[in-house]
Amino acid sequence: MELLLKQNIEHLGRLGDVVKVKSGYARNYLLPRGLAVMVTKSNVAEIERARAEALAEEQQRIASMRELAQKVGEASVTIESRANAEGHLFGSVGAPQIAAALREKGIVVDDKQVRLETHLKEIGVYDVVVHLHATVEATVKVWVVQQKPAS
């Protein structure tokens, strides 16, 4: 049975794709949940309109993510942490601390968007990748410095 998808379905297809599925899958899952419709001229026209709207919306999101990437690329954050005389940190600096430092500067990023191979465990300057979108990434300079002793 051929159906026209109304939204992206993992392992099947994307919005607007015409897919061939077994009739039981169509009758019992796709059609009742409104995930797909029968292939007709009016349905194809409606789905193409929805696809164009979704594409425009996605382009707008990518443009806003590129602006955010520009801000992230220009920013640098300083994180203070306790360390020994050789520069090894007591603990480590991870993605949540870096994301929080960016948020303090007014750059809204989620902890999951900060990509670290390993936690930062020494004093130094690091280039950290911030993954904003599938096609948009930025690099932020992170300065890990010795915390000043409390007076």
CA distance linking residue 10 with residue 111, whole number of Å = 25
In a domain, 100, yes or no: yes
Residue where a domain terminates, one of 32, 67, 102: 67
Pairing state between β 120-122 and 88-93: antiparallel
Model pTM?
A: 0.71
Structural domain containing residue 23 = 2-67
Tell me the three-class secondary structure of 76-139, residue by residue: EEEEEECECCCCEEEEEECHHHHHHHHHHCCCCCCHHHEECCCCEEECEEEEEEEEEECCEEEE
How many distinct structural domains can be found in the chain?
2
CA distance linking residue 128 with residue 115, whole number of Å = 7
The pLDDT tens digits for 4-28 are 999 889 899 988 899 999 999 999 9
Residues 85 and 31 in one domain: no
The pLDDT tens digits for 51-96 are 899 889 999 999 999 999 999 999 999 999 999 989 999 999 999 9
What CATH number does residue 86 fall under?
3.10.430.100
CA distance linking residue 126 with residue 78, whole number of Å = 10
Residues 22 and 89 in one domain: no
In a domain, 82, yes or no: yes
In a domain, 21, yes or no: yes
